[in-house]
Structure 1
């Protein structure tokens, strides 16, 4: 069973009402190709939140708010150009060994209730190569997986990322809420 199927079984009967998306037109206009698992997730559920703790944005919001999100990163990091991420974790104010992530390559696709954002590290033309970063400007977590796999890992509580998996969340009662 793939991650999208797992999410469909975990949240049966939830039907988002996403606006139809012409993915090729978005790519032509904005130069962004979205990951295939995100497209399938959006086409199934639309924009949604898990309870009110983690929200996944629609493609229109992602693209429309790109410049605002970049300004938010600038403000949160004091204008730094990026962060080095090693062993899956990075701290903006420390220089650590690891991959340098240029903030200009980040594409925000989600938010949390604890002021962290979820980003694709869109450093390649091929979205299959994009990693996911979860950050608040100072602390960053990096995951080499797609969004559907990330959400399943959150729901299974198997992800080591305090902003996403907390002692009291998610639970068996967690709901997927389209918006």
Structure 2
């Protein structure tokens, strides 16, 4: 697992001076009722909440009732009850429930990226993606850093997210949410094509 984080660190260059977030993991785990995967904690410490090339957003756990603050979250009841979101593939030996999905990421194509939080050991949670293009959830037996590195290095046989622009892109930019907000306040859209 640490080798996939090392691979990801080599592939992601941080835009600006902002990177990493300090999280009170004990408080976050009490609030969310789970133990977050160590791989995810390493990513948050190194990079924090932000986006990769404006395409994949990474969320961090924040305790707030404000629905406008982007953070790790469980799916709303209305979403969990939507019959169009009940298709699954890649899940063996378990009946998946949308109530067990914890979202840590999203895409510019409105995909969900999260974990199926089944079992006590967060290192064994399947990583799950709801692709709008495929209109189904797919489970992957990998960590967060393996998943992101797999997209950037093109290791998946088919792109697991709807936007294929990062598939095999290699070296990519990571922009922390604080830095993006600062740039936007200056009138700079950081992902604008030059």
TM over 0.5: yes
8 Å contact kept, 1:107–1:119: yes
The answer for the alignment partner of 1:70 in structure 2 is 76
8 Å contact kept, 2:131–2:161: no
The answer for the alignment partner of 1:107 in structure 2 is 102
How do residues 100-179 of structure 1 correspond to structure 2 at under 5 angstroms? 100-136=95-131, 138-164=135-161, 168-170=165-167, 171-172=169-170, 174-179=172-177
8 Å contact kept, 2:100–2:118: yes
Deviation at 1:62, TM superposition (A): 3.9
Query: In structure 1, how many angstroms separate the alpha carbons of the residues matched to 2:145 and 2:139?
Result: 15
Query: In structure 2, how many angstroms separate the alpha carbons of the residues matched to 1:74 and 1:39?
Result: 26
Deviation at 1:161, TM superposition (A): 4.4
The answer for the alignment partner of 1:94 in structure 2 is none
Deviation at 1:73, TM superposition (A): 2.7
Unaligned runs of 5+ in 2: 63-69, 178-194
Note the aligned Cα RMSD (angstroms): 2.8
Query: In structure 1, how many angstroms separate the alpha carbons of the residues matched to 2:158 and 2:76?
Result: 23
Query: In structure 2, how many angstroms separate the alpha carbons of the residues matched to 1:24 and 1:167?
Result: 36
Distance 1:43 1:173, change over 3 A: closer
Unaligned runs of 5+ in 1: 90-96
Query: In structure 1, how many angstroms separate the alpha carbons of the residues matched to 2:4 and 2:114?
Result: 19
Query: In structure 2, how many angstroms separate the alpha carbons of the residues matched to 1:19 and 1:58?
Result: 8
Distance 1:76 1:43, change over 3 A: same
8 Å contact kept, 1:131–1:144: yes
Deviation at 1:165, TM superposition (A): 7.2
* TM-score after normalising by structure 2: 0.72
Count residues with an aligned counterpart.
165
| Deviation by residue 1:7-48 (Cα, 9 ceiling, x = unmatched) | 222224555444421111222333221000000000000012
Distance 1:77 1:113, change over 3 A: farther
* TM-score after normalising by structure 1: 0.77
Query: In structure 2, how many angstroms separate the alpha carbons of the residues matched to 1:113 and 1:29?
Result: 28
